[in-house]
Each structure stands twice: as C-alpha cells, then as structure tokens.
Structure 1
C-alpha cells in the first residue's frame, strides 16, 4: 500500500489536474453544481453496483469518479470564495471529532447502539429540529424508509424484539388483504405501502439492508431472464410464441446453471 506521503501526492496531483481542466477544457469550464448533480447521482449508483458485485477493481475506479466530483464541487466553490477542498475536509473532520466524544472526549459507550444514540442526540444539540432532518427528500422510497427507521431508532423510538416487528408485518398483510377484497385502489396502495415499510423495519432487525437485498434479487432475475432469452434464440423461437411451460423449463435451468 502507498505511504501517507504518496497518498497526499496523489491527492495533490488530482487537485492540480482539476485546476487545469477548469481553466483549459471547454466542457469542464462550463460545469456548475447543478449540471454536475445528476452525474454525481449516477456515479454513486455505479459505485453501488460495483460494491454489490464485489468487483474491487471497479470499486476503485468508481471511487475515483466520486472523488473527482467532490473535488469538482470544491473547485467551483473556491471560485466564488465560498469554500474550497480544505474547508470541505476540515468541516468533516470537525464533525467526526464532535460526533465521536467516546474517542475524542470523555464519553463512555458500551456498544454500537450507544454510538448511534449519541450520534442522533448530538445532531439535535447542534440545532436540528428533528432527527429526520438529515434524511434527503430525494432518496428512493425504499432507502428513505430504511433511513427514517434508523434515525428514529437512534433516539429510542423502536420495537424491542424482532418477533414484535414480524407481528406488525402480519398485521399489515392482513389489512392489505382486506383492502384487496374491497377493491379500493387508493386504500390498497396505502396498505401496500404499510406492508413495505414494515418489511423494511423487519429487515433492519435482521441486519439485512433492504435496498441491497432487492437489488441482488433484481440482478438475479435479470440474469435468469437473459438466459431464457438466449435459449429462445438458440431454438429460433420468440418468447411471445412460447408457452409459459416452455419458458419455465429454461427458467429452471437458469436457476441451476447461473450463480447468484
């Protein structure tokens, strides 16, 4: 691994390249924080994909892309004298020190849960009006549900045992079934949301990340369906002309031959 000196040299090299691109490249010169925003989100998702695939080489590359965006935003901020990369680094350093009094102060903690509770309480002392203020409005709903539950659990608003949460899941499923039988679409949607929210909560108690779990299933389904498509092409028969039973033969093959 690189020494700290080499790490700092590499970061300095990136800052220098960013300075050069900002003054010399027509595309880089035009960019604003707003124009970079959607690209940053895309890069973050690409990093997430690489992590789920456990592709370390790709993780390294995608981390570089995300780091570039951080440096890019900081460069833009420096041009208006609002902040630069040093301010960004110092800001997060101060936050980490303040949020870890069990490391940099005299607070005692017994476990990870104590750390989480302290974290949320410290944020309230810093002036936040709600523990939910730190949950971005634009997060995908599944991720947002998980973060909301983590946040409120951090201040003690939580179930005590996993079986209580599972009972809540069963309760919500029963209520959803009632609305299905009634046929009220609006009520069905509301109850389905409750089912998903309770399932996310149960996943949290089992230390399962619901977003990761669902994305792994998405990937698994996609691989199997693409196998099915390839087999259909091999026998020169379009999927739309195949019976469900015929397709199911290849689907079962995919479950056997494809690794998850």
Structure 2
C-alpha cells in the first residue's frame, strides 16, 4: 500500500487537476451543484453495483468518480467563498471526533449497539428534532424503510426478538389477504406496503440487507431470463410463440447451470 505521503500527493494532484479543468474546460466551467447532482447519484449507484459484483478494480474506479464529485462540489463552494475542501474535511473530522466519545472521550461502550445508540442520542443533543431527520427524502422506498427502522432502533424503539418480528410479518400478510379478497385497491396497496415494511424489519433482525438481497435476486432472474432468450434464439423461436412449459425447460437448465 502507498505511504501517507504518496496518498496526500495523489490527492493534491487531483485538486490541481480540478483547478485546471474548472478554469480551462468548457464543460467543467459550466457545471453547478444542481447540474452535478443527478450525475453524483448515478455514480453512487455505479459504485454500489461494483460492490455487489465484488469487482474491486471497478470499485476503485467508481470511488475515484465519487471522489471527483466531492472535490468538484468543494471547488464550486470555494468560488462562492462558502467552503472549500479543507472545510469539508475538517467538518467530517470534527463530527467523527464528537460522535465517538468512546474513542476520543471517557464514554464506555460494550458493543456496536451501544455505539449506534450513542450516535443517535448525540445527534438529538446537537439540535435535531427527530432521529429521522437524517433519512433523505429522495431515498428509494426500500432503502428508506431500512434506514428508518435502523434509526429508531438506535434509540431503543425496536422488537426484542426475531420471532416477534416474524409474527408481525404473518399478521400483515393476513391483513393483506383480507384486502385482496375485498378487492379494494387502495387498501390492498396500503397493506402490501405494511407487508414489505415488516419484511424489511425482519431482514434487519437477521442481519440481511434487503436492498442487496433484492438486487441479488434481480440479477439472478435477469441471468436466467437471458439464458432463456439465448436458447430460444438458437432454436429460431420467439418467446411469444413458446408455451410456459417449453420455457420452463430452459429456465430449469439455467438454474442447474448456476445462472
């Protein structure tokens, strides 16, 4: 691994390149925080994909893209004299020191749960009116549900045992089934949301990340379906002309071949 000196030189090189691009490149000169926002979100998702694929070389590249965006926002902030990259770094350093009194103070903790609980309590002492203020409104619903539950659990609002959470899942499934039988679309949607929320909660108790789990299934399904398409194409057949039984033969093949 590179020395701290080499790491700092590399970061200084990036800052210099950012200065040059902002001054000389027509595209970079035009960018604002608003125009970069959707690109940052896209880069974050690409990083997430690389992590799920366990492609460390791609993770390295995507981390570079995300880091570039952080430097870019900081450069824009320096131009308006609101903040620069040093302010950004010092801000997070100050926060980390304040939020880890068990490292930088005399607070004692027994485990990870104590750390999370202290973190949320400190945030409330800092002036936040709710532990849920730290959950971005624009998060995808599945990720948001997981973060909401994680946040409230951090201050003690939680079930005691996984069995209790599973009972809640079963309760919500029964309520959903009642509304399905009633045919009330609005009530069905509401109860289906409760089912998903309870399943996310159960996943949290089992130490399963629901977003990662669902994405693994998405990829698994996509791989098997592409296998099915390729097999149909090799037979000069259209999927529309095949029966479900015919398609299932190739679907089972895909499963056997670990697609």
Smaller-chain TM-score range? Answer: over 0.9
- Offset at 1:258? 2.9
- Offset at 1:59? 0.3
The Cα offsets for residues 147-199 of structure 1, whole Å up to 9 and x where unpaired, read as 00000000000000000000000000000000000000000000000000000
Q: Distance in 2 between matches of 1:195 and 1:258?
A: 30
Counterpart for residue 54 of structure 1: 54
What stretches of structure 1 of length at least 5 have no aligned partner? none
Counterpart for residue 156 of structure 2: 156
Counterpart for residue 80 of structure 2: 80
Counterpart for residue 240 of structure 2: 240
**3-state SS of the aligned residue for 1:107?**
coil
**3-state SS of the aligned residue for 1:27?**
helix
1:75-114 mapped onto 2 (5 Å cutoff): 75-114=75-114
1:126-165 mapped onto 2 (5 Å cutoff): 126-165=126-165
Q: Distance in 2 between matches of 1:4 and 1:47?
A: 24
1:197-212 mapped onto 2 (5 Å cutoff): 197-212=197-212
- Offset at 1:88? 0.3
Q: Does 1:37 align with 2:64?
A: no
Counterpart for residue 217 of structure 2: 217
The Cα offsets for residues 73-113 of structure 1, whole Å up to 9 and x where unpaired, read as 00000000000000000000000000000000000000000
1:14-29 mapped onto 2 (5 Å cutoff): 14-29=14-29
The Cα offsets for residues 45-89 of structure 1, whole Å up to 9 and x where unpaired, read as 000000000000000000000000000000000000000000000
- Offset at 1:228? 0.4
Task: Provide TM-score, normalisation by structure 2.
Answer: 1.00
Counterpart for residue 120 of structure 1: 120
Q: Distance in 1 between matches of 2:126 and 2:136?
A: 18
Q: Distance in 2 between matches of 1:258 and 1:62?
A: 28
Q: Distance in 1 between matches of 2:62 and 2:167?
A: 41
Please give the root-mean-square deviation of Cα atoms over the aligned residues, in Å: 0.4
The Cα offsets for residues 210-244 of structure 1, whole Å up to 9 and x where unpaired, read as 00000010011000000000001000001000000
**3-state SS of the aligned residue for 1:208?**
coil
Task: Provide TM-score, normalisation by structure 1.
Answer: 0.99
Q: Distance in 2 between matches of 1:211 and 1:132?
A: 19
Structure 1 consecutive aligned stretches of length 4 or more whose deviation exceeds 2 Å: none
- Offset at 1:134? 0.3
Counterpart for residue 187 of structure 1: 187
